[in-house]
């Protein structure tokens, strides 16, 4: 199954955003046991990079690198075994790197101009970011008309309770953060509780 197919099937993409490697590792493992076999680790610190290969080997989890801003970050992530790259904006350099490595790259866009730029660079699977602050579902619908061939990853401000609103043919997946791993559970290291919550939210996927 391709990465895009995995994203479509799982629908919810955990976006893990912590600076501390031990916390990232624990959250990824808790979510994995809750049914999330594909996750995104944002590159908050270079110290997180080795976790990608380590967790892939130990758990068999599919891991992508998020907040990839530069070609150097992309190269480092791929060297550690990242299986896809995600950016908050579009980078021609990261795009070229991913194409050369035959790796999925999901660039972030916000405006019609940015969508057009990404399409002209060969990308039709795009991250609408930040989804909720720029208008949420109504804004997405306004883009679906002029860009009917684009498939979307939605990220930024979406709540678990809103997932049903975004189950649309154009939407491959939705990124979720603290609704999957609430801060109080992380701070108190209640990993089993995070696994239980993940398992309950996993039903929001397409399987």
Helices (H), 11-111: 21-33, 49-59, 71-79, 92-101
Which of 4, 29, 37, 40 is an active site residue?
A: 40
**What sign for the dihedral angle of Cα 75, 32, 17, 203?**
positive
d(CA 37, CA 57) in angstroms, rounded, equals 13
d(CA 171, CA 154) in angstroms, rounded, equals 7
Per the annotation, the verdict on 80 as an active-site residue is no
C-beta of residue 40 within 8 angstroms of C-beta of residue 175: yes
Q: Mind spelling out the 3-state secondary structure of 90-151? A: CCHHHHHHHHHHCCEEECEECCHHHHHHHHHCCCCEEEECCCCCCCHHHHHHHHHCCCCCCE
Which of 127, 144, 159, 162 is an active site residue?
A: 127
Per the annotation, the verdict on 162 as an active-site residue is no
d(CA 131, CA 157) in angstroms, rounded, equals 7
d(CA 95, CA 135) in angstroms, rounded, equals 27
Q: What residues are annotated to the active site?
A: 40, 127
């Amino acid at each position: 199954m391709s990465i895009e197919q995995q994203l479509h099937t799982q629908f919810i993409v955990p976006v893990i955003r912590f600076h501390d490697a031990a916390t990232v590792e624990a959250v990824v493992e808790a979510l994995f046991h809750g049914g999330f076999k594909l996750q995104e680790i944002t590159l908050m610190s270079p110290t997180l990079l080795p976790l990608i290969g380590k967790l892939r080997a130990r758990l068999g989890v599919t891991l992508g690198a998020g907040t990839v801003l530069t070609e150097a970050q992309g190269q480092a992530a791929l060297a550690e075994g990242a299986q896809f790259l995600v950016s908050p904006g579009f980078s021609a350099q990261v795009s070229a790197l991913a194409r050369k490595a035959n790796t999925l790259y999901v660039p972030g866009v916000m405006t019609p101009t940015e969508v057009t730029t990404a399409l002209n660079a060969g990308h039709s699977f795009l991250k609408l970011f930040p989804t909720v602050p720029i208008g949420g579902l109504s804004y997405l619908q306004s883009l679906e008309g002029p860009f009917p061939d684009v498939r979307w990853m939605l990220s930024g401000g979406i709540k678990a309770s809103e997932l049903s609103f975004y189950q649309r043919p154009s939407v491959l997946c939705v990124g979720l953060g603290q609704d999957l791993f609430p801060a109080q559970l992380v701070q108190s290291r209640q990993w089993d509780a995070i696994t239980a919550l993940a398992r309950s939210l996993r039903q929001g996927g397409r399987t």
